[in-house]
Structure 1
Amino acid sequence: MENIRSMTGYGKGEYNDGIRNIIAEIKTINNRYSDINIKAPRHLRFLEDNIRKIIKNSILRGRVDIFLNIEYISESATVIAPNLALANQYKAAIDEIKGNLNLDDEVRLDTIIKFQDVLVAKENSDDENELKICVEKSIYNAIEKLLAMRENEGKQLRVDVLNGVESIKKLTAEIQKYSTTLVDDYKVKLEARINELLGTKYELDENRLYNEIVFYSDKSDINEEIIRLESHISQLESTIASGGAVGRKLDFILQEANREINTIGSKIGNLDITKNVIEVKNVLEKIREQVQNIE
């Protein structure tokens, strides 16, 4: 049986090859779809497509934020090169601003190099391959810790959902029990009400009374809704038991269960049944909140 996973988690991975130390942090939260966002130094961005593939193989749904950092601990083949064309464009723009505003400030070197991409870190082709290996290993380390956390939270979600399922089973049984006496109770109340209004002056029309009771019986029959509700609750159990990425399926089943309990509530005015209907809806909403965080 595959475990279910929460969509909320965090994992941090590191890999050191003696030249560089790569630190990868992955944070996930719930999202209806897969949304992967990568924040990395510019000279690591050539690896983004590969990182996305790794993430998609392990995380099927949720918002995923990946933060990459690199620390050099000895000499590497990395070269810091100036982007002179860009630096000239920045200087020209500053000179234009100075001219328009009649300013006499000098354009200083420390001002220019602060602008993005004026200094660019580059790796040679051999070192890029080593860098790719380091980044991938740090990502895999982070994913391992992330998934462990998501599975631990998934275990608690599983318990919470199944506890809710048991509550709904008991409440549904109560609704069914009360529904079996609805017609008899209605007949007694109707006869009493007629006698109260008419007294003994008029003879009770048994045929009209019978038709009224049959009409009420058809209108208040909730057997089909109860059978479907029980089926949906059974599907919740079996889906949770199957494990894996079942969040969307569970959400759909809950929508169908809500539809049935709403129909029951609209059909029946009995106070005992109404109380149980309200409680079932409350429990379904609590389960839905938990399911929103299941992958």
Structure 2
Amino acid sequence: MIASMTGYGKGQAEVDGLCLTVEIKTVNHRYGDVTVKSPRFLFAFENDIKKRVGEVLKRGKIDLFISQEAVSERGLAPALNRPLAAAYVKVFEEMRETFGLGGELSLALLASQKDVVTLREGDLDETALRQCLERALGTALDAVVKMRRAEGEATLVDMAERLRLLEEMLAEVEARAPQVPGEWLTKLEARLAKLKNDLDLDPQRLGQELAIYADRCDISEELTRFKSHLVQFRALFSQDEAVGRQMDFLVQELNREVNTMGSKSNDAELTRKVVAMKAELEKIREQVQNIE
């Protein structure tokens, strides 16, 4: 089943008083780009996190946010920055003596100074930490995969309908194309008939010109390749792996063939059909940009 590159998932786990929340947000991207924002005590796990995410989400701009939901002895705990607190006390005493100020230095004033009281990492058990992280990450990945597949399924329905329209238009082009050389000859003969008194027509030369024109506007090869590309494109709908890049390549090839049909057609009706086919292909291309 194809999957979109747009999705969101959230997971939370608690192990031995440590509670972690993992949120994953993904959008379309040419490659797989994973960014992790986490508390400092999880920095050592970032490579493992990226590897785990990369195994599940093959493509997309993937932003992963990890937060600690509970403060405990196993997580972050407040700590006194003694050297900084002593420096503040010294500065306040100097200010009082220098400027002749009164009043006592209060605990509230000292504690309100920046970085006097900080949050430090508590004693974290690595086994419990890893277990908690894996549970939360696994839940978040399951949720984002579910959302990406649901959106991918909706995209598949839309693309399947557009492929059906393309096949209908292709059949019309295929039916129209053989008529073009004959109609061109009829028009040419009508014009030459009006000038027959001033021209010495050579039937053999006229036949040669018709053959050249018919070869120039022959789009049978383009029609065959276009059909083949459509078959390959539909086959990707049932694949389990990431198929976005393959779809992108096939859309480029389909555009190449339809552009060649347009340049060869030299017929107003065929040109209108080719323009309509290009419009549908552009809509498919936009959808493919968000396929994993």
Calculate the TM-score normalised by the size of structure 1: 0.85
Contact 1:81 1:122 survives alignment (8 Å): no
Q: Distance in 1 between matches of 2:3 and 2:261?
A: 33
Contact 2:152 2:291 survives alignment (8 Å): yes
Contact 1:21 1:70 survives alignment (8 Å): yes
Q: Specify every segment of 5 or more residues in structure 1 that has no aligned partner in the other structure, as ranges.
A: 92-106
1:194 aligns with one of 147, 167, 192? 192
Q: For each residue in 1:66-89, what CA deviation from the matched residue of structure 2 results, as whole angstroms up to 9, or x when unmatched?
A: 11111226543655556779x69x
Q: Distance in 1 between matches of 2:81 and 2:126?
A: 20
Q: For each residue in 1:153-173, what CA deviation from the matched residue of structure 2 results, as whole angstroms up to 9, or x when unmatched?
A: 111111111111111111111
Number of the residue aligned with 2:17: 19
The answer to which of 282-291 and 18-27 deviates more is 18-27
Q: Distance in 2 between matches of 1:218 and 1:35?
A: 49
Partner-residue secondary structure (3-state), 1:232: helix
Number of the residue aligned with 2:95: none
Q: Using a 3 Å threshold, how does the CA distance of structure 1 residues 199 and 78 change in structure 2: closer, same or farther?
A: closer
Percent of aligned pairs sharing the same letter: 37
Number of the residue aligned with 1:288: 285
Q: Does 1:210 align with 2:212?
A: no
Q: Specify every segment of 5 or more residues in structure 2 that has no aligned partner in the other structure, as ranges.
A: 89-108
Number of the residue aligned with 2:255: 258
Q: Using a 3 Å threshold, how does the CA distance of structure 1 residues 74 and 84 change in structure 2: closer, same or farther?
A: closer
C-alpha displacement of 1:130: 1.1
Number of the residue aligned with 1:121: 120
Contact 2:16 2:128 survives alignment (8 Å): no
Number of the residue aligned with 1:95: none
Q: Distance in 2 between matches of 1:22 and 1:222?
A: 61
Number of the residue aligned with 2:156: 158
C-alpha displacement of 1:194: 1.2
Contact 1:247 1:291 survives alignment (8 Å): yes
Q: Distance in 2 between matches of 1:232 and 1:183?
A: 27
The answer to which of 38-47 and 285-294 deviates more is 38-47
Number of the residue aligned with 1:227: 224
Q: For each residue in 1:35-72, what CA deviation from the matched residue of structure 2 results, as whole angstroms up to 9, or x when unmatched?
A: 11111122222221121111011100101111111122
Q: Using a 3 Å threshold, how does the CA distance of structure 1 residues 268 and 84 change in structure 2: closer, same or farther?
A: farther
Q: How does 1:107-146 map to 2 (within 5 A)?
A: 110-113=112-115, 119=118, 121-124=120-123, 127-146=125-144
Number of the residue aligned with 2:104: none
C-alpha displacement of 1:281: 0.4
Q: Using a 3 Å threshold, how does the CA distance of structure 1 residues 212 and 16 change in structure 2: closer, same or farther?
A: same
Q: Distance in 2 between matches of 1:246 and 1:192?
A: 53
AA paired with 2:212?
Answer: F
Partner-residue secondary structure (3-state), 1:27: strand
Partner-residue secondary structure (3-state), 2:13: strand
Q: Distance in 1 between matches of 2:239 and 2:264?
A: 34
Contact 1:83 1:120 survives alignment (8 Å): no
Q: Distance in 2 between matches of 1:28 and 1:136?
A: 19
AA paired with 2:273?
Answer: N
**Count of residue correspondences:** 273
Calculate the TM-score normalised by the size of structure 2: 0.86
C-alpha displacement of 1:18: 4.9
Contact 1:77 1:127 survives alignment (8 Å): no
Contact 2:3 2:151 survives alignment (8 Å): yes
Q: For each residue in 1:186-228, what CA deviation from the matched residue of structure 2 results, as whole angstroms up to 9, or x when unmatched?
A: 11011111122x1445442101211110110111111111111
Number of the residue aligned with 1:249: 246
1:34 aligns with one of 7, 32, 35? 32
Contact 1:18 1:74 survives alignment (8 Å): no
Q: Distance in 2 between matches of 1:154 and 1:165?
A: 16
AA paired with 2:172?
Answer: E
2:44 aligns with one of 43, 46, 54? 46
Q: Distance in 2 between matches of 1:109 and 1:16?
A: 31
Q: Using a 3 Å threshold, how does the CA distance of structure 1 residues 204 and 234 change in structure 2: closer, same or farther?
A: same
Number of the residue aligned with 1:66: 64
